Amino acid sequence: MSAVTIQQMADRVAGLMEERLGVRGAGLEAKLRKGGRLLPRKVRAAAEGLAAFATKAENPRLLTQISIEEVAAAYDLCVRHLSALQAGRWRATMLIGTAGSVAFSLLVVAVLLAVFVWWRGLI
């Protein structure tokens, strides 16, 4: 596997991150710094490994140390996950989850307040 191929793989993953997650940045490493938290742990580790492989591939001596199977596995995992995401859908899911959490917290506080008022005999 050549250095160009590895760099193309990293660019493809970076493009998918920008398209599907809306993460901006100059390359895969920058996009992982800004939006790596949006990825599951395994996918983030694979993307970080792919970015490290792309950096290593720039040096011809280090290129021989790169395992083709590891690069292919990391690329496949990242592309499989990012291709399954629908652009903007994750944002709506996160917003709905946050709104549900806030609503549940307010409900618990209201119930506790009602119990306190009843306990003090004010009702």
> Which phi and psi angles does 13 have, rounded to 5°?
-65, -40
Asked whether the whole model's pTM tops 0.85, one would answer no
Domain count, the chain: 2
Domain shared by 74 and 116, yes or no? no
Domain shared by 82 and 22, yes or no? yes
Whole-angstrom Cα distance, residue 106 to residue 110? 6
Domain shared by 7 and 39, yes or no? yes
Give the amino acid at 59.
N
Q: Which domain holds residue 36?
A: 3-87
Return the SS3 of 11: helix
Q: pLDDT for 29-50, tens place per residue? A: 999 999 888 899 999 999 999 9
Is the pLDDT at 123 greater than 80? The verdict is no
- Number of CB atoms found within 10 A of residue 11's CB: 13
Domain shared by 65 and 98, yes or no? no
Domain shared by 66 and 103, yes or no? no
Domain shared by 9 and 52, yes or no? yes
- Number of CB atoms found within 10 A of residue 21's CB: 20
Whole-angstrom Cα distance, residue 32 to residue 83? 17
Domain shared by 69 and 22, yes or no? yes
Return the SS3 of 43: helix
pLDDT value at position 87? 67
Whole-angstrom Cα distance, residue 108 to residue 100? 12
Q: Please name the residue that has the structure tokens 């806030």.
A: 102
Return the higher-pLDDT residue of 80 and 21: 80
CA distances from 95 to 18, 39, 90, 108 (A): 20, 16, 9, 20
Structure tokens at 89: 């859908």
Domain shared by 9 and 42, yes or no? yes
Compute the mean pLDDT over every residue in the chain, rounded to the nearest whole number. Answer: 91
